Amino acid sequence: MAKLIRAVAWRRLERPFTRKSKYRQKAFVRAVPTSKVIKYVMGNQVKEFEYKVVLNSKSDIQLRHNALEAARKTANKLLETKAPLNYFLRLRVYPHHVLRNNPLAAGAGADRMSTGMAHSFGKSVGLAAQVRKGQTVFEVEVNKDKIQTAKDALDRARKKMPCDFSIVIKEKQKVAVKAA
């Protein structure tokens, strides 16, 4: 199995150039890899909760799909054990951007195998979600007694991703139903 290239290679935002064409020679992105993120909505989707705890990004960044999945798993596991069916977890970003790598050969005979930077578009190696400063990545809805558990879950998720995040607690507004 190929070694995973470090996240710093794709951390900064770039123009998502993912040209598709009906002609194979003109399509730059030949195949898009499948996303590792399996679920985007977890927990109790029926119940109404009083508080919303959100994880916001402090900078513009690209988050790879394997980092998002690792963060989702660890947050969901803690919420399942400490607050079973008393939470609603949602991943708010989707990995659309195709990450590309142009491997350069080194060593004896490399000049005959590699095109160098002549055709440097690269092959697709993964997916990433482009996140802007202040954008919500995860949100957890809970009642007042489970706020600390939700903060701990989002703190665990924060440690799986490559930039700084802030955890914000918001009280949800109650909607009054008019009797007709």
Mind listing the pLDDT tens digit for each residue in 94-134?
Answer: 998 888 887 777 766 666 666 667 766 778 888 999 999 99
180 found inside a domain: no
16 found inside a domain: no
151 found inside a domain: yes
Per DSSP, the residues of 50-80 read SEEEEEEESS-EEEEHHHHHHHHHHHHHHHH
CA distance 157 to 138: 9
Tokens of 153: 């879950």
| CATH code of 80's domain | 3.90.1170.10
177 found inside a domain: no
85 found inside a domain: yes
- Band (9; pLDDT cuts 50, 70, 90): confident
CA distance 51 to 172: 5
Task: Strand 123-131: give its sheet, edge to edge.
Answer: 61-64, 123-131, 97-101
**Total number of domains constituting the chain:** 1
Q: At what angle do helices 147-159 and 65-82 cross, to 10 degrees?
A: 150
Structure confidence at residue 142 (pLDDT) = 95
Structural domain span for residue 47: 27-102+122-171
73 found inside a domain: yes
Lowest mean pLDDT among 50-54, 117-121, 139-143: 117-121
Structure confidence at residue 4 (pLDDT) = 77
3 found inside a domain: no
CA distance 44 to 121: 44
Element at 111 (helix H, strand E): helix 110-113
Beta bridge partners of 51: 142, 171
2 found inside a domain: no
